[in-house]
Structure 1
Amino acid sequence: MNTPAPHASIELTREAFLERADHTLLAPGTTPAELEQFLIAARALGVGQVCISPTLLEDAIGPLRSSPVRIVTVVGFPSGVHTAEVKAAEAVQAAADGAWEIDMVVNRGLIRSDDWRGVEAEIRAVREAIPERVLKVILETAALSDAQIVACCRAAEAAGADFVKTSTGFDPAGGATVHAVRIMAETVGGRLGVKASGGIRTAAAVRDMWAAGATRFGISGTAGILDTWGTAGAARSGSEEVY
């Protein structure tokens, strides 16, 4: 399939990118002072979301109380080897602590075993635990075959997820690629969002992901991307580059 993304011909403006940016801080060992500075920067940048570790949620609520910024967190992170019950419990706790969006990591052992019922079941367990929250499913696409990416996307859709997401950003296999984003977008056909995450560092890379079908971006270097925004159109990245 080579079907263009529905929005591929629409220019991604700076403002539209910020609205779709999940400004991310998932580094282990983050201190309250580092979180405070991160949140100050997030508000100054004007991002739509921040993605932070579950243990940081309570400290983020106050600083963001009067802000339109939505809070995203992760469960089963970064390995995905937690049981479905634990992931569901993590999601419930995260929602209670103020997260509106939950990014869960799929158990790759189920994927490698072609246990698609198992993949769907664990996603559904989290979905049913947080029915009023946005659920994104992290596939770790750099470690998967194209067929596995397609099957994971189908399982996520069947289980009621809202988004599929490329990567945790912590796996040695790599992060987001245009190729993977395109496969995901073609598979979900606009019925789910597609979050490109993992190693995206330039505005040119963001625009390539957008053209391939990404509708949300997991970004830690948001300020650096904005610094390159005006030159992104002139310096295109390779279509199969790993970002």
Structure 2
Amino acid sequence: MDKQAILNRVDHTLLTTTATWEQVKSLCDEGLKYHTASVCIPPRFVKRAGDYVGNDLKICTVIGFPNGYNSTETKVFETEDAIRGGADEIDMVISLGLVKAGDWDGVLAEIKAVKASCRGRILKVIVEACQLTREEKVKVCQIVTLAGADFIKTSTGFSTGGATVEDVALFRANIGPDVRIKAAGGIRTFEQAQAMLDAGADRIGASALVGLMEA
């Protein structure tokens, strides 16, 4: 796959705590220039970015980010607020505490609640794979599928590890046919992105790939 085709599958990302509007605006300009799948930005910039790009670029934002330990009610409120602001795609972090407690009904209920509040927009569920055992990864694939989410996403990029080819392949083997995979975290070269796509990813979360094209 050529570099432009890869960029068409990239959520061009800026989620640093120090992000400014000028940086987000520049990210949007790059997303427009290279026809990325979306820009993934902090919630506070969603409406401004949406007004800036109009219908020419998808706006993605994050919910319960990066720790996922907000209450379900808070995540639903965040989602509804983002949708009101014009977000096209929602990347939510699951409650790892519920996973570790084996409260799969709780995990399922939370994802379903956020999915309902998305009102038809794309929902990606961040499972922070680096924190999970193999058995937990397999089970969370089943739960994400049951919840009706559109994507399972490997990582926030803010924990102890990011996407791996092995995790992408494991997810591909255990998700339902209607669920796609977003690989994110530590993908800094086109070769790494291609490896994730070859393993079964459909979307890439990255902050560095557009910069390589610019260089």
Q: Structure 2 length as normaliser, TM-score?
A: 0.95
- Counting only pairs closer than 5 Å after superposition, residues 116-195 of structure 1 correspond to structure 2 as 116-171=104-159, 173-195=160-182
Name the structure 1 match of 2:194.
Answer: 207
Paired residue secondary structure (1:199): coil
What pairs up with 1:212-227 in 2 under 5 angstroms? 212-226=199-213
Contact (CA 8 Å) 2:28, 2:49: kept in 1 or not?
yes
Is 1:47 the counterpart of 2:36 in the alignment?
yes
Q: Quick check: 2:151–2:180 contact (8 Å CA) kept in 1?
A: yes
CA distance in structure 2 between the aligned counterparts of 1:66 and 1:113, rounded to whole angstroms: 42
CA RMSD of aligned residues (A): 1.5
**Aligned residue in 2 for 1:235:** none
Query: 1:16 maps to which residue?
Result: 5
Stretches (4+) displaced over 6 A? none
Matches within 5 A, 1:25-104: 25-67=14-56, 69-104=57-92
Q: Secondary structure at the match of 1:73?
A: strand
- Greater mean alpha carbon deviation, residues 156-165 or residues 189-198: 189-198
Q: Within 2, Cα distance between the matches of 1:174 and 1:18?
A: 23
SS in 1 for 2:59: strand
Q: CA shift at 1:227, angstroms?
A: 7.2
Shift of 1:14: 2.8
The answer (yes or no) to whether the contact 1:106–1:119 under 8 Å persists in 2 is: yes
Q: Which of 186, 198, 205 pairs up with 2:185?
A: 198
**How far has the Cα of 1:196 moved from its partner?**
0.1
Q: Deviations over 1:85-119 (max 9, x none)?
A: 11011101101101011000000001111111111
Question: Would you tell me which structure has more helix in proportion to its own residues?
Answer: 2
Bigger mean CA deviation after superposition, 125-134 or 104-113: 125-134
Which has the higher mean CA deviation after the structures are superposed, 29-38 or 209-218? 29-38
User: Partners of 1:193 and 1:225 in 2: how far apart?
Assistant: 26
Matched position secondary structure for 1:127: helix
Q: Aligned residues: percent identity?
A: 40
Change beyond 3 A, Cα 1:186–1:95: same
Q: TM-score, normalised on structure 1?
A: 0.84
Between Structure 1 and Structure 2, how many residues are aligned? 215
Cross-structure match for 1:233: none
Taking the aligned partners of 2:127 and 2:152, their CA distance within structure 1 comes to: 7
- State the Cα deviation string for residues 20-56 of structure 1 (Å, max 9, x = none): 1100011112112222222222222221210001001
In structure 2, C-alpha distance between the alignment counterparts of 1:166 and 1:114, rounded to whole Å: 19
User: What is the distance in 2 between the residues matched to 1:98 and 1:62?
Assistant: 9
- The question of whether the paired residues in 1 share the 8 Å contact of 2:190 and 2:209 is answered with no
Tell me which structure has the larger Cα radius of gyration: 1
DSSP 3-state at the match of 2:163: coil
Structure 1: gaps (5+ residues): 1-11, 229-243
User: In structure 2, what residue type is equivalent to 1:106?
Assistant: I
Query: Structure 1 residues 66, 100: closer, same or farther in 2, change over 3 A?
Result: closer
Aligned amino acid, residue 184 of structure 1: F
Alpha-carbon distance in structure 2 between the residues aligned to 1:31 and 1:224: 18
- Distance in 2 (alpha carbons) for counterparts of 1:219 and 1:55: 20
Residue 186 of structure 1 aligns with an amino acid whose one-letter code is A
Closer, same or farther: CA 225–146 of 1 in aligned 2, 3 Å: farther
